[in-house]
């Protein structure tokens, strides 16, 4: 299929999706799949069908947005939430229940993780309520069912599964005491009336979503999020989104790996952030790195594809990806150093070191590693985009645009070569 801007514009209008964030090929693939599903003979026929069917419009959105998440993703966020929740209850003298929002909530792993974390921290059920919201009715329905497979339980510490789940033949069933803490509904952040009559929330989780929007839409969505968050509240975002909040008067609360921000009266210096790569599938609740994926996310696979030999070098690179995606930055960095001490330099290793430096707040160090990756592999897509984001945050807009253009050309060439 040719690049048909009508479908890009449709997704931009409906869910705010910026085609540059995922690549045109992903949207085209979804259109082809849906065209075949409804037996449309041509792209034009499918467009006419799309315009006349609300169900098909939602089906196309579902085909583009494939959720990928798991319980207690970014563990420090939930540990931080538990500490802040206790302090917040003391501040308000326990006069009301804490209000917590998770959006997009995908298939429920995040809002249920919030509830489990607070129950495990000793909060009573009457002391907090969690609201989950997602643009996908299918995801919300799966969340309401609350039955999960093994892929939803990742990382070394899954003791919570024994405490809060019961295993049956069709998967792990979440306990009613956790489900009762969470209310789920369908909703769109681009809806100006979203939660208009609701009181503000003490804590809002909106992770790995802003990176899929262009700058005007990011500003629009941020204004909504800021309005939903209590003036003394905390907003949890994805690791790639720190600079976006920094530019809009939010400041990191200073807890490493929590990705938590609060309001700040004075303009704050943005946290070093790394802009995501075009991802194969936008994910809403954001995971391990897959081909052309954003940091610490996974749309379909857990490891970046590598060009290293399929020996111990490949195993070590896979280990680096796993450690980083589990938030074990020190161990991931050590694994990178082990790789470099026993194997020839690899662009992917320097990219990982740059990403780990970005998360740690070492912008200059991150730049050096990204440039080393590009020296070895000039069109390394993730390194191009993350270095561009750093240059943009430092005011070098021209340099950032050059790198973004290089990444876009590489993406187009890769897409065309696969046709």
Query: In this predicted model, what pLDDT tens digit does every residue of 281-298 receive, in sequence order?
Result: 444 443 333 333 333 333
Q: What is the DSSP letter of 240?
A: T
What pLDDT shows up at residue 124? 97
Do β-strands 250-252 and 171-174 pair in parallel, antiparallel, or remain unpaired? unpaired
385: closest CA among 254, 274, 303? 274
Residue 32 CB burial class (10 angstroms; 0-12, 13-18, ≥19): middle
Which CATH number characterizes residue 132's domain?
A: 3.40.50.150
- Which residues are bridge partners to 182 per DSSP? 130
324 and 229 inside one domain: no
Contact 297, 306 (CB under 8 A): no
Contact 278, 21 (CB under 8 A): yes
239 and 105 inside one domain: yes
Q: Quote the number of domains for the chain.
A: 3
204 and 111 inside one domain: yes
Q: Which parts of the chain sit beneath pLDDT 50?
A: 1-2, 266-310
| In-domain check, residue 299 | no
| In-domain check, residue 27 | yes
What pLDDT shows up at residue 390? 76
54 and 92 inside one domain: no
Which CATH number characterizes residue 330's domain?
A: 1.25.40.10
What pLDDT shows up at residue 291? 33
What pLDDT shows up at residue 288? 37
**Joined tokens for residue 262:** 């609060």
47: closest CA among 65, 35, 55, 39? 35
69/134 Cα distance (integer angstroms): 13
Q: What is the DSSP letter of 331?
A: H
57 and 82 inside one domain: no
312/317 Cα distance (integer angstroms): 9
Residue 9 CB burial class (10 angstroms; 0-12, 13-18, ≥19): exposed
102 and 226 inside one domain: yes
50 and 92 inside one domain: no
What pLDDT shows up at residue 270? 47
What pLDDT shows up at residue 210? 80
212 and 247 inside one domain: yes
Burial 325-363 (b: 16+ CB within 10 A, else e): bbbbbeebbebbeebeeebeebbbbbbbbbbbbbbbeeb
Q: What is the DSSP letter of 212?
A: G
Structural domain for 36, as ranges: 5-64
264/401 Cα distance (integer angstroms): 29
| In-domain check, residue 20 | yes
Contact 288, 73 (CB under 8 A): no
Domain termination residue (choose one: 64, 85, 113): 64
Q: What percentage of the chain carries pLDDT values higher than 70? A: 81
173 and 224 inside one domain: yes
| In-domain check, residue 160 | yes
Measured over the CA atoms of residue 117, residue 122, residue 123 and residue 124, the dihedral's sign is: positive
31 and 106 inside one domain: no
**Joined tokens for residue 266:** 């004075």
Number of C-beta neighbours around residue 398 at 10 A: 9
The helix/strand/coil state of 362 is: coil
What pLDDT shows up at residue 418? 54
| In-domain check, residue 302 | no
What pLDDT shows up at residue 311? 53
| In-domain check, residue 283 | no
What pLDDT shows up at residue 412? 62
97 and 225 inside one domain: yes
300/10 Cα distance (integer angstroms): 25
| In-domain check, residue 277 | no
| In-domain check, residue 113 | yes
Domain termination residue (choose one: 225, 244, 263): 263
What pLDDT shows up at residue 392? 75
75: closest CA among 254, 351, 327? 327
45/319 Cα distance (integer angstroms): 47
365 and 337 inside one domain: yes
């Amino acid at each position: 299929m040719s690049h048909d801007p009508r479908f890009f514009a449709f997704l931009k209008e409906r869910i705010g999706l910026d085609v540059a964030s995922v690549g045109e090929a992903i949207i085209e693939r979804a259109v082809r799949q849906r065209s075949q599903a409804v037996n449309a003979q041509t792209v034009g026929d499918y467009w006419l069908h799309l315009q006349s069917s609300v169900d098909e419009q939602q089906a196309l959105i579902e085909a583009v947005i494939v959720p990928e998440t798991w319980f207690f993703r970014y563990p420090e966020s939930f540990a931080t939430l538990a500490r802040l929740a206790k302090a917040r209850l003391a501040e308000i003298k326990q006069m009301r229940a804490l209000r917590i929002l998770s959006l997009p909530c995908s298939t429920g792993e995040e809002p249920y993780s919030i509830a489990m974390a607070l129950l495990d921290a000793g909060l009573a059920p009457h002391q907090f309520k969690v609201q989950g919201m997602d643009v996908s009715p299918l995801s919300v329905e799966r969340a309401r069912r609350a039955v999960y497979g093994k892929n939803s339980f990742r990382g070394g510490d899954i003791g919570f599964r024994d405490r809060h789940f019961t295993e049956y033949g069709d998967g792990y069933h979440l306990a009613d005491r956790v489900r009762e803490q969470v209310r789920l509904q369908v909703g769109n952040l681009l809806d100006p009336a979203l939660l208009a009559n609701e009181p503000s929330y003490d804590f809002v989780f909106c992770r790995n979503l802003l990176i899929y929007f262009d700058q005007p839409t990011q500003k629009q969505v941020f204004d909504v999020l800021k309005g939903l968050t209590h003036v003394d509240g905390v907003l949890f975002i994805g690791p790639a989104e720190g600079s976006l909040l920094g530019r809009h008067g939010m400041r990191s609360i200073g807890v490493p790996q929590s990705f938590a921000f609060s309001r700040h009266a004075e303009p704050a210096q943005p946290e070093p952030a790394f802009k995501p790569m075009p991802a194969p599938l936008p994910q809403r609740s954001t995971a391990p790195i897959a081909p052309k994926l954003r940091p610490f996310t996974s749309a379909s696979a857990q490891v970046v594809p590598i060009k290293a030999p399929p020996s111990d070098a490949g195993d070590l690179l896979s280990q680096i990806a796993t450690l980083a995606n589990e938030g074990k930055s020190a161990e991931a960095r050590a694994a990178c150093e082990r790789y470099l001490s026993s194997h020839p330099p690899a662009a992917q290793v320097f990219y990982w070191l740059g990403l780990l430096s970005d998360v740690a707040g070492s912008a200059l160090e991150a730049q050096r590693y990204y440039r080393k990756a590009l020296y070895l592999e000039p069109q390394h897509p993730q390194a191009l985009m993350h270095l561009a984001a750093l240059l943009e945050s430092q005011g070098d807009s021209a340099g950032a645009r050059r790198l973004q253009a290089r990444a876009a050309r590489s993406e187009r060439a890769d897409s065309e070569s696969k046709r």
